[in-house]
Amino acid sequence: MTWPAAAVAVTVVAALAGWFCWLRGRHLVVTVRGPSMAPTYRNGDRLLVRRRPGARVRSGQVAVVDLPETVRPLPGWVTPEDRLRNSRVIKRVAAVPGDPVPFPIDGSGPLVPPGSLVLLGDNPDGSGDSRQYGYVPVDAVVGVVLRSITGRG
């Protein structure tokens, strides 16, 4: 291989590596665990998520959220392993700051307060969400779901 050809090959490899790192920094893949988002997403579905600050999330989008310890709907006796497993959730954003509160939340006014979100699962009978644990901080949003990447035959 000649010197110019080697330089081109190294440049292409470096560009691809840089592009991959950039892409990985802006996106992630998550796996649905549980029935809370059925029928939209099912247990085991893999989802492509774009990292996005919570302040840019809109009502109706499906968000991936790292629940703060204070709002995780888990009893105190669960193991640390289970607590960690339930820290990241996939839920639909039902209301953003300034939107009407869609259902009574203890101590809430008629509008979602600044810095808060209301999250709901698409399967109301199989979802732990804002109906149980109230508002979730906007800063807890990891990103929004772009699409499922699970192939279904």
Classify domain 28-148 at the CATH class level.
mainly beta
Catalytic residue among 91, 116, 127, 130: 91
Q: For the segment 41-57, what is each residue's pLDDT rounded down to a tens digit?
A: 999 999 999 998 888 89
Beta strands in the chain, from DSSP E residues, in sequence order: 27-31, 46-51, 62-66, 88-95, 116-120, 136-137, 141-148
How high is the pLDDT of residue 118? 94
- Name the pTM for this structure: 0.75
Mean pLDDT across the stretch 3-10? 66
Domain range summary for the chain, segments of one domain joined by +: 28-148
CA–CA distance, 28 with 12 (Å, rounded to integer): 24
Give the type of residue at 108. S
The greatest distance separating any two alpha carbons of the chain, rounded to the nearest whole angstrom, comes to 73
Q: What percent of the chain has pLDDT over 70?
A: 71
Buried-state track 23-40, b at ≥16 Cβ within 10 A, e below 16: eeeeeeebebebbbbbeb
Residue 36 bears catalytic tag = yes
Q: Is the pLDDT of residue 8 over 70?
A: no
Catalytic, 148? Answer no
